[in-house]
Amino acid sequence: MRYAWLRELAVPVPETLKSPLEVAAFEARQAAERLRFAVDEKMGEGYAAEKTGDGYLVTGGTTGVLYGAYALLRALRLGEEPPRGAQFPRCSLRMLNCWDNMDGTIERGYAGRSLWLEGDAFAYDPGRVRQLGRMLASVGINVLCLNNVNVHAPAQQLIGDFLPDLAAFAGILRPFGVRLMVSVDFSMPMQCGLNTADPLDSRVQAWWRERAGIVYAAVPDLAGFLVKADSEHRPGPNAYGRDHAQGANMLARTLKPFGGVLVWRAFVYNCLQDWRDRAVDRPCAAYDTYMPLDGKFDDNVILQVKNGPYDFQVREPVSPLLLGLKNTAMAVEFQLAQEYTGHQIDLYAMPPLWREVIDAVGADSLRAMAAVGNLGRDENWTGHPFAALNLFAFGLFAWDPGSDPGALIDQWTRLTYDLPEDQRKTLAGLLLDSRAVYEKYTAPLGLCWMVQPGLHYGPNPYGYEFDAWGTYNRADRNGVGIDRTAAGTGYACQYPESLARLYSDPAACPENLLLFFHRLPYGHVMPDGRTLIQRIYDDHFDGCEQAYAMARALQTLDLPEPDRSEALARMEKQVKNAENWRDVINTFFYRFSGVEDSRERKIYE
């Protein structure tokens, strides 16, 4: 079994361990120094580590003691002192949302089949699940939502016929402080004899109350339910004229007696849009839907807001809903699975993205942080061995949203590989820059959705242009982009005034969002004097050159096998992908604009 970072994870953890404290003690035995533990239940997930004569004493809550152990092991491995003083996580729920289906496939999975589901049943290697729990604990992730938010039959039965299996699975993860969450189907009562799923119907309420009781009898520490409702053809309360607060609160009240939370995804929009209709603008949808409900959710409802407002595009402005809600418990939802960001073939390290979002939103406004998982049955867990960085960093970032992206990346490279320092810096540099490079060769200046429809890898700049998903760039022979200012769709007005002003002015708008907020002619002159079209060409040529440079740099690294071969094989595909993006996007805009590249590089006709 391969380990994704911390060396200590290489030794299998025995199945006899029953509590975080026992796990902590086991891990500690591998450390060079002597570690001792004291449990102080008041500390919950928190811990404090102090140097003693012959080693360290970690004091922490029931799970905090384990987090402390891993923090100490990381520090020792890095040759650093453990953090001073008591440490507590900023977000109480640090959640991995896994889009695993009962048939073993994973929606948007790029690392093989499900680690725990196959053939419409639970199917796993218990040792591997323990290893997974340990990996998650080692970076502080404490909730695993085990099934796809699109609940395909028979996944409804995870809270029905499959409950004994769910309980057994929960038991394996419990010593690692990882609690399960289940994605549920809002219409499940209708599959069980009722003729409605109306949240205000007393039979529906009674059905869910009874169901919650049965579920918590089987898994007493279940974190709660996750719901995708009234979104992309999923059932929801709107069918009964009820709003999302009514839908969410009904479910939340059934979980409340057991300490469970109801996580409600705010990813709601019209996915049957008519492209001819320029008044409807998909990024507006979440704000329009949920702002009127601010303050109407029960206190154990968490509204999980996808970032960005459109979807998980390479470059979007922060979701205005995250800035707007004042009286609603929120989680931000990121996506470790590289759906639009390179399919775990192309390098795309995410901490810089998270940093930007949290800088805009403020960590204090979040009760939880969620990420769509990037795991699968591949031997290296994440398809690309470097994609493990995103899982590692997400856990630590959710614990401390003040984390510096460069420091997280440094830490992962140092813990994972024994490389000479110059090579390690090269690797860390590759990773730190990887998002910017990917953005440069794929998404010009905030334009989104130029991907192959459905697949979401590789370029197809007009592939979604006339479709029903609300994902348009409106390129024509004169210009490109959508006016989202007050004069256009009005989306920019969803932001607080200073941001709205910034985004609404093409001269002030950040360049990387220029075409997200504005429709501009190809001759538009950018601050540096280049035209928009020249800038599109330059970015795509530059991005591809940068991919070549990354490939050359990767060659120089003495990575262990099979990581080296895996990384190099994927880099070869990335370079091809970058070339294709460069040529397709440049040709697309050349065909529309007729403008030649001022530097006379090759643009195909």
Asked if residue 261 lies in contact with residue 224, where contact means CB atoms within 8 angstroms, the answer is yes
Is 316 annotated as catalytic? no
**Helix-strand-coil percent breakdown of the chain, rounded to 5?**
45, 10, 45
Is 583 annotated as catalytic? no
Asked if residue 268 lies in contact with residue 286, where contact means CB atoms within 8 angstroms, the answer is yes
**CA neighbor of 107 nearest in space, from 52, 81, 145:** 145
**Strand spans (E) along 307-426:** 330-335, 368-372
Asked if residue 531 lies in contact with residue 523, where contact means CB atoms within 8 angstroms, the answer is yes
- Tell me which stretch binds a copy of itself (CB under 8 A): 74-82, 321-329, 418-426, 585-593: 585-593
Give least dist CB 518 to a copy of itself, A: 16
**CA neighbor of 374 nearest in space, from 426, 341, 336:** 336
Residue 103 binds a copy of itself (CB under 8 A):
no
What is the β-pairing status of strands 479-480 and 520-521? antiparallel
Residue 460 binds a copy of itself (CB under 8 A):
yes
List the interface residues with a copy of itself, window 267-326 (CB under 8 A): 275-276
Q: Which is nearer to a copy of itself, 266 or 443 (CB)?
A: 443
Residue 584 binds a copy of itself (CB under 8 A):
yes
- Tell me which stretch binds a copy of itself (CB under 8 A): 239-247, 353-361, 451-459, 537-545: 451-459
User: Which of 8, 230, 339, 539 is flagged as catalytic?
Assistant: 339
Tokens of 256: 């409340």
What is the β-pairing status of strands 93-97 and 143-145? parallel
Give the separation between CA 122 and CA 537, rounded to whole angstroms.
50
**Strand spans (E) along 308-420:** 330-335, 368-372
Q: Which is nearer to a copy of itself, 193 or 454 (CB)?
A: 454
Give least dist CB 534 to a copy of itself, A: 17
Residue 148 binds a copy of itself (CB under 8 A):
no
Residue 591 binds a copy of itself (CB under 8 A):
yes
Residue 596 binds a copy of itself (CB under 8 A):
no
Give the separation between CA 525 and CA 520, rounded to whole angstroms.
10
Residue 105 binds a copy of itself (CB under 8 A):
no
Asked if residue 471 lies in contact with residue 459, where contact means CB atoms within 8 angstroms, the answer is no
Tokens of 61: 């809550």
* Residue 514, C-beta contacts closer than 8 angstroms, at least 6 positions apart: 445, 446, 481, 506, 520
Q: Which is nearer to a copy of itself, 187 or 485 (CB)?
A: 485
List the interface residues with a copy of itself, window 421-440 (CB under 8 A): none
User: Which of 161, 232, 274, 379 is flagged as catalytic?
Assistant: 232
Give the separation between CA 483 and CA 489, rounded to whole angstroms.
7
Residue 454 binds a copy of itself (CB under 8 A):
yes
Give least dist CB 541 to a copy of itself, A: 15
Q: Which is nearer to a copy of itself, 285 or 450 (CB)?
A: 450
Rg of the chain in Å (alpha carbons) = 24
Residue at token pair 């470790």: 336
Of 453, 490, 506, 521, the residue at the interface with a copy of itself (CB under 8 A) is 453
Give least dist CB 456 to a copy of itself, A: 13
| Dihedral angle, C-alpha 90, 41, 11, 7, nearest 10 ° | 40
Give least dist CB 482 to a copy of itself, A: 12
Of 466, 511, 560, 572, the residue at the interface with a copy of itself (CB under 8 A) is 466
- Tell me which stretch binds a copy of itself (CB under 8 A): 108-116, 147-155, 207-215, 590-598: 590-598
Give least dist CB 590 to a copy of itself, A: 8
Residue 119 binds a copy of itself (CB under 8 A):
no
Asked if residue 306 lies in contact with residue 290, where contact means CB atoms within 8 angstroms, the answer is no
* Residue 281, C-beta contacts closer than 8 angstroms, at least 6 positions apart: 470, 482, 484, 489, 490, 491
Give the separation between CA 55 and CA 31, rounded to whole angstroms.
10
Give the separation between CA 171 and CA 169, rounded to whole angstroms.
5
- Tell me which stretch binds a copy of itself (CB under 8 A): 24-32, 242-250, 401-409, 473-481: 473-481
Give the separation between CA 533 and CA 520, rounded to whole angstroms.
10
Of 52, 478, 555, 598, the residue at the interface with a copy of itself (CB under 8 A) is 478
Of 19, 30, 105, 587, the residue at the interface with a copy of itself (CB under 8 A) is 587
Tokens of 457: 């890898």
Of 279, 477, 497, 529, the residue at the interface with a copy of itself (CB under 8 A) is 477
Output the CA–CA distances (angstroms, integers) from residue 189 to 203, 237, 554, in the order listed: 9, 13, 53
Give the separation between CA 387 and CA 371, rounded to whole angstroms.
14
- Tell me which stretch binds a copy of itself (CB under 8 A): 65-73, 103-111, 167-175, 458-466: 458-466
By CB under 8 A, the count of residues binding a copy of itself is: 29
Q: Which is nearer to a copy of itself, 210 or 476 (CB)?
A: 476
Residue 462 binds a copy of itself (CB under 8 A):
yes
Residue at token pair 């860390």: 428
Residue 120 binds a copy of itself (CB under 8 A):
no
Q: Which is nearer to a copy of itself, 83 or 453 (CB)?
A: 453
Residue 461 binds a copy of itself (CB under 8 A):
yes
- Tell me which stretch binds a copy of itself (CB under 8 A): 87-95, 308-316, 388-396, 453-461: 453-461
Asked if residue 50 lies in contact with residue 72, where contact means CB atoms within 8 angstroms, the answer is no
Q: Which is nearer to a copy of itself, 216 or 462 (CB)?
A: 462
User: Which of 27, 198, 230, 311 is flagged as catalytic?
Assistant: 311
Is 311 annotated as catalytic? yes
Residue 15 binds a copy of itself (CB under 8 A):
no
What DSSP string describes 539-599?
HHHHHHHHHHHHHHHHHT--PPTTHHHHHHHHHHHHHHHHHHHHHHHHHHHHHHH-PPPTT
List the interface residues with a copy of itself, window 516-575 (CB under 8 A): none
Of 73, 166, 318, 475, the residue at the interface with a copy of itself (CB under 8 A) is 475
Helix H or strand E encompassing 56: strand 55-60
Give least dist CB 277 to a copy of itself, A: 9
Query: Which residue ranges make up the site for a copy of itself (CB under 8 A)?
Result: 275-276, 453-454, 459-463, 465-467, 474-478, 580, 583-584, 587-588, 590-594, 604-605
Catalytic residues: 232, 311, 339
